[in-house]
Structures are given as structure tokens and as C-alpha cells.
Amino acid sequence: MPSQILPFSYLPPPKSPPLAKQAMYKPLIYDDYPSTTTTTVKPLLSRASTFNASALATNCGGGLTAWYHNKRRRSNSDNNCLSALPDRTNGTDGGDNGQQTIAQEVTHAAAETFLLTRLCLKLLSYLGVGYRWITRFMALGCYAFLLMPGFVQVGYYYFFSPYVRRSIVYGDQPRNRLDLYLPKNSDGPKPVVAFVTGGAWIIGYKAWGSLLGQQLSERDIIVACIDYRNFPQGSISDMVKDASCGISYICNHIAEYGGDPNRIYLMGQSAGAHIAACTLVDQVVKESGEGDSVSWSSSQINAYFGLSGGYNLLSLVDHFHSRGLYRSIFLSIMEGEESLSQFSPELVVQNPNLKHIIARLPPIILFHGTADYSIPSDASKSFAETLQRFGGKAEVILYEGKTHTDLFLQDPMRGGVDEMFEDIVSVVLGGDSEVVGKSVARRRLVPEFMLKLAHWVSPF
């Protein structure tokens, strides 16, 4: 759908004196483990949905400003993300040659299964057995059954492909692992997409990105899927910290796997898009302070891709409640109602004391389906409008009639040419017009009638 990007004008604010910083509020929730120049911006893509940005009178509240003044008093400990790593983890959980024995594989799988089962049981104690959740779980079961032919094929690739390096340790927490999807062609350094998976902040897992990893690696792009602690094992600040540690590992170690550290892109889907955006914004806030120690730089990120994400939690909390993510649970995940603003990237960039950070942000490209009922496409529109209004480089691509899962699951399983996938490739490989021009028609993984039924029964 052809469109254009809105030009913007940006007047750099005067430099403000150094501010103070302190740690984010983090309650103990189920901690089971120790612990005047006018600039016209070219569109980043050839087509993007645009809107007439009206001046939004969004009130960030004094709490966010006070939080920022206090937040910068703490000293950043992100360097621990690297110091806790084993030497030369080259494939799975470690070892001299990076290859695990069958016993180690089974032990790791059993530990992961036990962990996920334990967390699910705790989660069920939160959710109870209400009618809404029973019907959603039933719909989820039907949805997974209909897509099972595709899941089996992708699962086989995930577990048996020699080009997938699973469970590389990047930090010292139980979920601090990532998967790498490597291209078959190893001539020269490859661009890298660091991907944060979705899962309603509750069921996120690194393997959810295996279909995307397989797709992009076939186009000579390395994909790193970052795992992170979910609720109730951790709250939002734990998720942001884990994502930051994972990005740090990628920026500092991806060259060992054939990646180009100068061509790294950050991407997130659904809740992962929110976590990745929070991580990116938090990073530029750290970089704007004095005395902060950082283990990676926002300048290393060439662009941010947000797929079906939400970036203003204050405007979404009631919507999530109506969809079954109850307000009490959501506020527990987000560390209380008073923390919603500080974990809303759209609101943080509007803070008068933080407007200078927008210049540090990489280009931001947001993808969203117009039929997405889990997180309405207005969430991406509003975030892009806000960034444009304050001088940021942002655009939105809307896909007519696509739901929350169509873009990420059903469309790739349908085979042929994937529209959103080609949009991502055109940015990542934008300098290679010959490669970009070669659209790859992938084989079908699931019959069409099953995909249509999955679209109809999807609880998302």
C-alpha cells in the first residue's frame, strides 16, 4: 500500500546540566532464583502508512520526571552481563568444542521443562479458572493443533539443523540464553538481527523466533533470538535487563560467529517489541548521563523493527484487561501502576528533560496489522507520530486485514513471497540492490484451509 513518510522539523534543545540517577523500583515478586534547522527525512522504506499527526496532549506526569532525576544516581552494572560469561561459548551451553553430549542435551531440556512447568503452575494460581481463561486456553489448543504441520517442520529444523546454535549463555540468570541462526553461506561478515520474542510477558521463549530465524538466515542474515525471564519469575525491569545483557553479548561477540558488529538491527514482536523498545530507550538515557558504565551503545543499532507492539501502557492497560490479561496481573508484571509511565517508551520520549535522547535513537520502523485486536494498530501509529513530532526518524507500515499472529506465523507458513519479510530484508540488505530484488518464494508449510481456520479460532 503506497504511502509516504512525514517530514519533520527538529530544533535541538540546549544541553541541560547533568541529572541524577537511581535504580528503577523493583519489588520482590516470585524471585525463585538468586540472583532552527529543518530536515526532511527520506522514507526508510519505499512504502509506509502515514497519518496527519495532531498535537497529542499526552501528560507524562510529574512522576516520570522525578523518576528520571532520581534514576541517574545509581551506577550501572551492565558490565556484569559480560563478566559472568563462560569463555568461548560456541554453540550450546558451553564446553571445549561447543558440542553437547546427548546426556547434556537431555539434562538441559529436562531443566527447562521443569522450570516452565513450575512457572505455569504459579501463573495458574494467579489466573484462576475463570470462564474467559478456559475459553482462551481451548482456543489456543485448537490454534496450535491447526498449525501443527508447520510447527513440526520448524521444530525439526530448530533441533537438528547444523546452522542453529542453541542456548548460548549470555548472562548469569537461568533464562539468559540465546539461539543463533546462521546462514549456510559463510563468505564475509553478515548483518545481524537481534530478536526479542513475544508472549504477553508471561510465555515468551527464544524458540518462538525459529521461523523468523530460518527465513532470514536463508537470505544471508544472522538472527539471534534472546530469551529472558518471564512473569512470575521476573518483572518488567528484569526482562529489560535480560534483553540489554543479550544485546550486549551480541554487540561484543557476534563477530566470533561470522556477524558484522557494524550491521546490527534490533527487533521485537508483541510483548517483545515493548521490551526491546524499553531497552533501547533506557540505553540512550544511560548514555546521556555522566559516569554511566555501558557495555553496548545505541549507535551500534542500525534500526529498530517493532512488530505488533504496544508502547504506551497507560492507554493499553484497560484494553488488555478486556482481552483477559487482567489489570491486577498486568500491574504486577509492570511493578505497579506508578511504573507504567517509565516503562512506556512513547511517554518517556515526551519527558521535557529527555527530549535530547531522541537524536540518539536509531531509525524506528513499526509493522502492524490493521485487524490486530490483541494490540490495536493505533499503538504503533501513536508512537510513530510522537517520535516524528519530536524529531525522531520513524515510520509505520500497516498490513490491511492482518491479525496479531498473521504477520508472524500464518503468512510465513503460507509460503510464497512474504510481504513483511521482504520489507525487513529491504532495510537490512538495503545496500545490496541485487540481493534485495530477488524475492524468495518459500514452500508452504500448512494447507490453506487450516491456516484460515487458525485465523478464525486464534485467541490473539
In sequence order, which ranges of 192-258 are alpha helices (DSSP H)?
210-217, 236-253
Q: Measured between alpha carbons, how far is residue 295 from residues 249, 283, 288, 292, 368 in Å?
A: 9, 10, 14, 10, 31
- The pairing of strands 364-369 and 177-181 is unpaired
CB 398 within 8 A of CB 49: yes
Q: How far apart are CA 179 and CA 210, in angstroms?
A: 9
CB 327 within 8 A of CB 317: yes
DSSP state of 416: B
Catalytic residue of the set 217, 235, 237, 270: 270
Instruction: Name the residue with higher pLDDT: 363 or 88.
Output: 363
Which of 25, 148, 132, 45 has its CA nearest to residue 366?
Answer: 45
Q: Confidence class of residue 442 from pLDDT cuts 50, 70 and 90?
A: confident
Q: What pairs with residue 194 in β-bridges?
A: 224, 266
Average pLDDT for 194-204 = 92
Q: Confidence class of residue 254 from pLDDT cuts 50, 70 and 90?
A: very high
427-439 pLDDT per residue, tens: 999 866 566 556 6
Q: Model pTM greater than 0.85?
A: no
| 439 given a catalytic annotation | no
- The pairing of strands 190-196 and 177-181 is unpaired
User: Which three three-digit cell numbers place residue 274?
Assistant: 515493548
Which of 297, 273, 303 has its CA nearest to residue 284?
Answer: 297
Give the DSSP H/E element, type plus range, for residue 165. strand 164-169
- The pairing of strands 222-226 and 190-196 is parallel
Q: Is 285 helix (H, G, I), strand (E, B) or coil?
A: helix
Phi first, then psi, for residue 323 (nearest 5°) are -90, -5
| 433 given a catalytic annotation | no
Instruction: Name the residue with higher pLDDT: 434 or 255.
Output: 255
Longest dimension (CA), the chain: 65
| pLDDT number for residue 186 | 82
In the chain, % helix, strand, coil (3-state, to 5) comes to 45, 15, 45
The type of residue at 404 is H
282-337 pLDDT per residue, tens: 999 988 875 466 789 999 999 999 999 999 999 999 999 888 888 888 999 999 99
| pLDDT number for residue 25 | 35
Residues 6+ apart with CB under 8 A from 159: 166
Cell 545481524 belongs to 192
Q: What pairs with residue 226 in β-bridges?
A: 178, 196
Catalytic residue of the set 372, 406, 411, 418: 372
287 burial class (0-12, 13-18, 19+ CB within 10 angstroms)?
Answer: middle
| pLDDT number for residue 433 | 58
Q: Is 265 helix (H, G, I), strand (E, B) or coil?
A: strand
Q: Would the CA dihedral through 293, 295, 300, 306 be positive or negative?
A: negative
| pLDDT number for residue 288 | 82
Q: How far apart are CA 18 and CA 14, in angstroms?
A: 12
Q: Confidence class of residue 139 from pLDDT cuts 50, 70 and 90?
A: confident
Residue-averaged pLDDT of the chain: 78
For 339-383, list the strands marked E by DSSP. Answer: 364-369
For 270-357, list the strands marked E by DSSP. Answer: 301-307
User: Which three three-digit cell numbers place residue 310?
Assistant: 504496544
- The pairing of strands 301-307 and 364-369 is parallel
Residue 57 has pLDDT above 70, yes or no: no
Q: Confidence class of residue 198 from pLDDT cuts 50, 70 and 90?
A: very high
Cell 561478515 belongs to 189
| 404 given a catalytic annotation | yes
| pLDDT number for residue 209 | 93
Domains of the chain: 8-12+36-50+130-136+164-444 (3.40.50.1820)
Q: Is 397 helix (H, G, I), strand (E, B) or coil?
A: strand
| pLDDT number for residue 135 | 77
Point out the least confidently predicted range of 92-106, 233-247, 339-353.
92-106
Residue 142 has pLDDT above 70, yes or no: yes
| pLDDT number for residue 114 | 72
Q: Measured between alpha carbons, how far is residue 161 from residues 152, 225, 408, 441 in Å?
A: 13, 16, 21, 21
Residues 6+ apart with CB under 8 A from 334: 235, 236, 313, 340, 343
Residues 6+ apart with CB under 8 A from 326: 127
Q: Confidence class of residue 63 from pLDDT cuts 50, 70 and 90?
A: very low
401-416 pLDDT per residue, tens: 999 989 999 999 998 8
Q: Confidence class of residue 23 from pLDDT cuts 50, 70 and 90?
A: very low
Catalytic residue of the set 253, 274, 404, 455: 404
| pLDDT number for residue 141 | 85
Q: Confidence class of residue 119 from pLDDT cuts 50, 70 and 90?
A: low
Average pLDDT for 82-94 = 43
Instruction: Name the residue with higher pLDDT: 52 or 416.
Output: 416
Cell 554487540 belongs to 251
| pLDDT number for residue 317 | 93
Residue 354 has pLDDT above 90, yes or no: no
